Amino acid sequence: MNKIGERTIVFKSAPFIAGNGGVGGKEEKCGPVGDCFDVFLKDDLWGEKSWELTEKKMHIRAIVDALNAAGLYTKDIDVMLGGDLLNQIITAGYSARELGIPFLGLYGACSTMSESLAIGAMAVDGGYAKNVVCAASSHFATAERQFRYPLELGTPKTPTSQHTATASGATVISMKPINPGAHPRITCATIGRVVDYGIKDVNNMGAAMAPAAAETLFTHFYDTKRKPSYYDLILSGDLGIFGKEILIRMAEKEKMDLSLNYTDCGVEIYKGMDNMYCGGSGCGLSALMLNKYYIPKMREGKLKRILFMATGALMSPTSSLQGESIPAIAHAISIEMENVKWNI
Amino acid sequence: MNKIGERTIVFKSAPFIAGNGGVGGKEEKCGPVGDCFDVFLKDDLWGEKSWELTEKKMHIRAIVDALNAAGLYTKDIDVMLGGDLLNQIITAGYSARELGIPFLGLYGACSTMSESLAIGAMAVDGGYAKNVVCAASSHFATAERQFRYPLELGTPKTPTSQHTATASGATVISMKPINPGAHPRITCATIGRVVDYGIKDVNNMGAAMAPAAAETLFTHFYDTKRKPSYYDLILSGDLGIFGKEILIRMAEKEKMDLSLNYTDCGVEIYKGMDNMYCGGSGCGLSALMLNKYYIPKMREGKLKRILFMATGALMSPTSSLQGESIPAIAHAISIEMENVKWNI
């Protein structure tokens, strides 16, 4: 078995992250890490006639840039995995039509990047694919239109709300990278369970998702017998300021110190910016931060081991209207510069 | 590599289909194969207060029945894969919350059952899981509410339209089945590409999906060097009467005879019934037919080799309103009573 403990799958060949791509929105570009987003939107529409078409254009651009970085063409890619927040994941579906790559559509809300990396690494490690591309995208305006209110209404936000990022990120996972140099590798993944603590406030997603993140994180350390200090960085997807605080406190109760090497992509992307409430969200956010900010840091030698854990809230407007609480999920992906010898 | 040709992945261990479950709606029960649906709805709500909750109840029941048939408990299942047609796949997401099984959510519209079998077989064959459960569901009333018009309007249907089935189906895939006897096995899978011939009529999904089915089918035969006659049955998901006819004609042009051993789940489920237009659709339909009608026939020795190819239309109401055409996809899964020796 390529599995340790209850829920952690191991990739003995440690597939390589051969290329990365990403596109940031105008606001993301203005943020503290905006310098890393070399491809970005000058306005919300980026030359398209609808925000949905813009999101598709971003998704495709992130994938094409990841392929270019890996030195590959679409024909070299065995399968394209991923999704977005839109109903029927139209961003990913229409992108797959344009690119012509075999496609497996995923929906994990904002956990999609983690989910696609887990399945993608399995496909490459298992010998079912030489190269796969994983991608996730979101757009502030398409998400507001679908999940919340028409932008024209100017509906005020509550203090715990998060700002859906306009962002795309894509990762090429390869059996053998073409380009020379050291590439980060995916060594294991802990698959999440759906956790629901009964939160019903859709403007408080951090609180809804933190328990799912905690459950996956604790399981990951239990399964792998690693400690938080094993990683240079533990990175959650988009818990935001409030959700991050909850996760740290939940970990404290388990005698686990996350104060030194843990942060959240949703906190980092808009740090110090006004009107961003509890930070960013959206499945493209963690995809962009991973692919354009953190993975490059690994390539530069500044980080050697990271645990990437995108978190998703799985409710829908219909389930919320029907009075349901918010179920959440998180998958943890271990990305390291060296392969690991598993004792199994 | 565990791959042949351009797009077909092979499962050298040929994971076993260890258990199946399914739930049919009231109308499905009245159809020509209704006798096979031992669990069925007596009315649209099945004791719940909303159709969405009914769909969740069906999804869970199909999974629990599949687990029971396989002699397994939820704790034995490494991962639950699948989805449904509802926005944010709430049926699958909330079911995963109730069942507590690690969850990977998929969206492939009506191709979801094929997609989950492909990824599920990969997880088991690759040694990442001992047992997985794959499931897909749909409900006539939740689909009408979301994709079409309020039922109360009584909007008339066009002749090429299809009736979304109230149906759930679940498959347990195991490394080693507990129960004795011969179990069907998953030997290979051809991953689909998104194909779009420009159809914009959402009441003509058969025509939109047939080209995607044809593309996957031809690729499958090309990759595996098999002929249609290799299979006792080639089974598409829900092309319906018109889509089935288109696929047969597209195959004829390639000098491929599908007249003898090919049919479509959407054609069979309502055969001879009134007001069903071009037949059934919905991702639960092919899941139900596969798990409660065709797999049992394999267990009885009446079918030895089937090619199951669920087809999905990947548009959304938003993309249709914005004038986009309907992109479609199909994945083909080879299910056989014997393992196959691959020449790779």
pLDDT digits (tens, 9 = 90+) for A64-74: 999 999 999 99
Contact A104 B86 (CB under 8 A): no
Contact B128 A9 (CB under 8 A): yes
Which token pair is A27?
Answer: 């606001």
B79, B107, B119: which to substitute to probe chain A, counting the most A Cβ within 10 Å? B107
- CA-to-CA distance for A169 and A179, rounded, in angstroms? 20
Q: What is the pLDDT of residue B88?
A: 98
Contact B90 A126 (CB under 8 A): no
- CA-to-CA distance for A126 and B126, rounded, in angstroms? 5
**Which DSSP letter does residue A212 get?**
H
Q: How confident is the model at residue B320 (pLDDT cuts 50, 70, 90)?
A: very high
Q: B328 and B196 in contact (C-beta within 8 Å)?
A: yes
For B88, which of A104, A194, A316 is closest by C-beta distance?
A316
Q: How confident is the model at residue B278 (pLDDT cuts 50, 70, 90)?
A: very high
The residue with tokens 């203090």 is A159
Q: What is the pLDDT of residue A344?
A: 83
Q: What is the pLDDT of residue A343?
A: 84
Q: Mean pLDDT across the stretch B90-112?
A: 98
Question: Looking at CA atoms only, how far is residue B133 from chain A in angstroms?
Answer: 14
pLDDT digits (tens, 9 = 90+) for B79-97: 999 999 999 999 999 999 9
CB atoms within 10 A of CB B341: 7
| B84, closest residue in chain A (CA to CA) | A88
Contact A314 B3 (CB under 8 A): no
The residue with tokens 């890490």 is A33
| A75, closest residue in chain B (CA to CA) | B6
Question: Looking at CA atoms only, how far is residue B247 from chain A in angstroms?
Answer: 20
Contact A88 B315 (CB under 8 A): yes
Contact A128 B9 (CB under 8 A): yes
Question: Looking at CA atoms only, how far is residue B32 from chain A in angstroms?
Answer: 31
- CA-to-CA distance for B246 and B111, rounded, in angstroms? 18
Q: What is the pLDDT of residue B174?
A: 98
Bridge partners (DSSP) listed for residue B281:
B164
B60, B79, B87: which to substitute to probe chain A, counting the most A Cβ within 10 Å? B87
| DSSP string for A84-118 | ESSGGGHHHHHHHHHH---EEEB--GGGHHHHHHH
- Average pLDDT by consecutive 10-residue portion of chain A (344 residues)? 96 98 98 98 97 98 98 98 98 98 98 98 98 98 94 91 97 97 97 97 96 98 97 98 98 96 98 94 98 98 98 97 98 97 88
Cβ neighbours of A1 in B, within 8 Å: 127-128, 130
A12, A95, A97, A112: which to substitute to probe chain B, counting the most B Cβ within 10 Å? A97
The residue with tokens 């939160």 is A199
A76, A87, A223: which to substitute to probe chain B, counting the most B Cβ within 10 Å? A87
Query: Distance of CA A208 to CAs A246, A312, B34, B114, B259, Å?
Result: 10, 9, 42, 32, 53
- CA-to-CA distance for A128 and B37, rounded, in angstroms? 35
Give the E-state strand segments of chain A in sequence order.
Answer: 3-4, 8-10, 16-24, 79-84, 103-105, 131-138, 163-164, 167-174, 185-190, 233-236, 262-264, 280-281, 305-313, 328-336
Contact B193 A93 (CB under 8 A): no
Q: Mean pLDDT across the stretch B25-48?
A: 97
Bridge partners (DSSP) listed for residue B106:
A106
Q: B62 and B168 in contact (C-beta within 8 Å)?
A: yes
- Tally helices (H) and strands (E) across chain B: 11, 14
Whether residue A127 lies within 8 A of chain B, CB to CB, comes out as: yes
Contacts of B332 (CB under 8 A, 6+ apart): B114, B189, B190, B192, B216, B217, B220, B307, B308, B309
| Three-state secondary-structure class, residue B119 | helix
Rounded to 5, what percent of chain A is helix, strand, coil? 40, 20, 40
Name the percent of chain A lying above pLDDT 70: 100
Q: At what angle do helices B205-224 and B240-253 cross, to 10 degrees?
A: 40
Whether residue A200 lies within 8 A of chain B, CB to CB, comes out as: no
Q: What is the pLDDT of residue A303?
A: 98
A 201-260 residues with CB < 8 A to B: none
- CA-to-CA distance for A177 and A183, rounded, in angstroms? 8
Question: Looking at CA atoms only, how far is residue B163 from chain A in angstroms?
Answer: 19
Question: Looking at CA atoms only, how far is residue A142 from chain B in angstroms?
Answer: 10
- CA-to-CA distance for A10 and A1, rounded, in angstroms? 9
Whether residue B134 lies within 8 A of chain A, CB to CB, comes out as: no
ipTM higher than the 0.85 cut: yes
A80, A101, A191: which to substitute to probe chain B, counting the most B Cβ within 10 Å? A191
Contact B2 A78 (CB under 8 A): no
For A7, which of B88, B102, B122 is closest by C-beta distance?
B102
For B127, which of A2, A94, A318 is closest by C-beta distance?
A2
B76, B216, B314: which to substitute to probe chain A, counting the most A Cβ within 10 Å? B314
- CA-to-CA distance for A172 and A310, rounded, in angstroms? 17
For B104, which of A89, A103, A119 is closest by C-beta distance?
A119
Question: Looking at CA atoms only, how far is residue B8 from chain A in angstroms?
Answer: 9
The residue with tokens 């990913």 is A92
Q: How confident is the model at residue B23 (pLDDT cuts 50, 70, 90)?
A: very high
Whether residue A122 lies within 8 A of chain B, CB to CB, comes out as: yes
Taking alpha carbons only, the member of B135, B139, B155, B138 closest to residue B45 is: B139
Whether residue A48 lies within 8 A of chain B, CB to CB, comes out as: no
User: Cβ-count burial of B154 within 10 angstroms (0-12 exposed, 13-18 middle, 19+ buried)?
Assistant: exposed
pLDDT digits (tens, 9 = 90+) for A178-199: 999 999 999 999 999 999 999 9
pLDDT digits (tens, 9 = 90+) for B185-223: 999 999 999 999 999 999 999 999 999 999 999 999 999
For B103, which of A89, A94, A193 is closest by C-beta distance?
A193
For A97, which of B100, B109, B196 is closest by C-beta distance?
B196
pLDDT exceeds 90 at position B102: yes
Dihedral pair phi/psi, residue B95, rounded to 5°? -65, -40
pLDDT exceeds 90 at position B239: yes
Q: A191 and A2 in contact (C-beta within 8 Å)?
A: no
For B83, which of A79, A107, A109 is closest by C-beta distance?
A107
pLDDT exceeds 90 at position B344: no
Q: What is the pLDDT of residue B343?
A: 84
pLDDT exceeds 90 at position B3: yes
Q: At what angle do helices A240-253 and A205-224 cross, to 10 degrees?
A: 40
Whether residue A123 lies within 8 A of chain B, CB to CB, comes out as: yes
Q: Mean pLDDT across the stretch B95-122?
A: 98
The residue with tokens 């692919």 is A291
**Which DSSP letter does residue B262 get?**
E
Average pLDDT, rounded, for chain A = 97
pLDDT digits (tens, 9 = 90+) for A268-327: 999 999 999 999 999 999 999 999 999 999 999 999 999 999 999 999 999 999 999 999
Q: CA torsion sign, A94 to B133 to B85 to B189? A: positive
CB pairs under 8 A between A and B: 190
Contact B106 A102 (CB under 8 A): no
Contact A102 B193 (CB under 8 A): yes
Which token pair is B109?
Answer: 């519209």
Whether residue A83 lies within 8 A of chain B, CB to CB, comes out as: yes
- CA-to-CA distance for A280 and A298, rounded, in angstroms? 23
Contact A93 B318 (CB under 8 A): no
The residue with tokens 């159709």 is B51
